[in-house]
Amino acid sequence: MFDIHSHLNFIAFEKDYAEIIGRSFNNGIKGIINIGSNLETSKKAIKIAHEFFNKKIYATVGLHPIYINDEKFNLKKYQQIAKDSKVKAIGEIGLDYYRISDIKTQNLQKTLFLKQLNLAKKSNLPIILHCRGNQERPLKAYEEMLDILKKYPNLTGVIHCFEANWKIAEQFLYSNFLISFTGIITFSDNEKIKEVIKKIPLDKILTDTDCPYLTPKPFRGKRNEPLYVKYIIQKIAEIKQINFKKIDQATTQNAMKLFKI
């Protein structure tokens, strides 16, 4: 079991992240990647990774599109921290059009995204993609992201918390990206996502909790944590009709390979 996208660096875990890391590794978690969403949380992710230097706990650095108006992106500062030995990717970066329909803000997000793709290219690191559409046009953000990624054929990485259809999934796979699923897949039976999970090859799947958010069933509504990645693997196993162990092994191996662990 590998949680490729957690936020133990967030305030929700300020008091007990060490305890949570302890029980994760004692109960079968093989690795955790804490994801930065701005400069402060990126630095915190690195700090936690070093506190547990002998464990497979890593960090990513990046500015999330929702913080476009809260932080001015400073390339030099991110470039600097990206050099840390515990940093395994640039992220989470991407496009988030949820509740944002004005083109101006969407364009600002695209500019920020491009800057960070260049950072990933220069740092020679994979990327963690965040993509969310709005209700009127749920696929627009995905389509625009794919268009941008075409200009970076040498980049690789993962799109986390995937919520689009198989047609979009195929294009990410074709562009050399893996696809990761969160606890959302346990909430209800969404035929589109089920189709993606059924069709996706085993060597292209990853799992992420996005904790403290998106807690899977049966703990929905409570604070999420890396250990609950188990319920996501269980759901994937059920949909693919492959046993738990195989999905567990595949997702763990895929994470180690992608992040060069």
Q: Which residues bind Zn ion (CB under 5 A)?
A: 210
Question: Residue with structure tokens 């840390």?
Answer: 84
As to burial, measured by CB atoms within 10 angstroms (0-12 exposed, 13-18 middle, 19+ buried), residue 245 is exposed
Cβ-Cβ contacts under 8 Å for 112 (sequence gap 6 or more): 63, 65, 68, 73, 93
**Residue with smaller CB distance to Zn ion, 163 or 210:** 210
Provide, rounded to whole angstroms, the least separation between the CB of residue 7 and Zn ion: 6
Minimum CB–partner distance for residue 21 and Zn ion (Å): 17
* C-beta of 119 vs 211, nearer to Zn ion: 211
Question: How many Å apart are CA 200 and CA 240, to the nearest integer?
Answer: 9
CB of 125 to Zn ion, least distance (A): 17
Q: Which amino acid is at 65?
A: P
Q: Determine the Cα–Cα distance for residues 94 and 198; give it in Å rounded to an integer.
A: 26
Shortest separation between residue 220's beta carbon and Zn ion, angstroms: 17
The CA-atom distances, in angstroms, between 255 and each of 62, 132, 218 are: 19, 22, 25
Q: Find where tokens 């403290």 sit.
A: 212
Give whichever of 116 and 170 is closer to Zn ion, judged by the CB atom. Answer: 116
Closest residue to Zn ion, judged by C-beta, is 210
The distance of closest approach from Cβ of residue 242 to Zn ion in the complex, given in angstroms and rounded to an integer, is: 27
In the complex, the smallest distance separating the C-beta of residue 156 from Zn ion, rounded to whole angstroms, is 19
Q: Using the minimum distance from each CB to Zn ion, give the nearer residue, 36 or 125.
A: 36
Nearer to Zn ion, 24 or 209 (CB): 209
Report CA-CA distances (Å) from 109 to 93, 134, 201: 9, 14, 31
Indicate the helix (H) or strand (E) that contains 197. Answer: helix 191-199
Between 210 and 225, CB nearer to Zn ion:
210
